[in-house]
Amino acid sequence: MTESNITTISLPKVLAEKIKKRIEGTGFNSVSSYVTYVMRQVLSNVESQDKPKEAFSEQDEKKVKERLRSLGYLD
């Protein structure tokens, strides 16, 4: 990630200290990287509620999936 893609946010000091202890030995090398990781998880759970409208009827989907499998494009 480049510097220009990063912004600063504020956390209560007590929370930041807690996080610092929490990440010892976990591979997260900073409070920032841990908070980024947790926020991504939270947001992806929220966003997954918002799914696109399904385009295929059950039968059509079966037909196109079969075609994609035969092309090797479907895993």
Partner 1 sequence: MTKIFIYGIDGAPPELIFDRWKADLPNISALIENGIHARMESTIPPATNIAWNSMLSGQDASKIGVFAYTYKDNDGNTRLVSSNNIKTELIWDILGDKKRTISLFVPLSFPVRPINGMMVSGFLTPDIDSDCAYPKELKEKIKKLGSTDNFFDVTQGLAGHKSLDIDTLLKRTYEMSDMQTTLMKDLITSEDWDLFITVLIGTDRLQHMLWQHFDQTHRRFIKDSKHKDALKDYYIYLDKKLGEILNLLDDDTIIIVASDHGMARQEGKININNWLMQEGYLKLNKDIKEKTRFKFELIDKSSRAWATGAYHARIFVNKDLEDWQITLEEIENKLKLIPDDKGEQLNTKVFRKEDIYDDPDAEGCPDLTVYFDDLSWASNPDLGQEGLYSWETAVGADSAGHSRQGCFIIAGPGIKKGKLGVIDIRQIAPTLLRLLDQEIPKTIKHKPIEVT
Using CB under 8 A as the criterion, which residues of the chain lie in contact with partner 1 when the complex forms? Answer: 1, 26-29, 33, 37, 40-41, 43-44, 47-49, 51-57, 60-61, 63-75
Closer to partner 1 by Cβ: residue 20 or 65: 65
Instruction: Give the nearest distance from C-beta 36 to partner 1 in angstroms.
Output: 9
Amino acid at site 14: V
Instruction: Give the nearest distance from C-beta 64 to partner 1 in angstroms.
Output: 6
Closer to partner 1 by Cβ: residue 13 or 75: 75
Tell me the C-alpha distance between 43 and 61, whole Å: 29
Amino acid at site 31: V
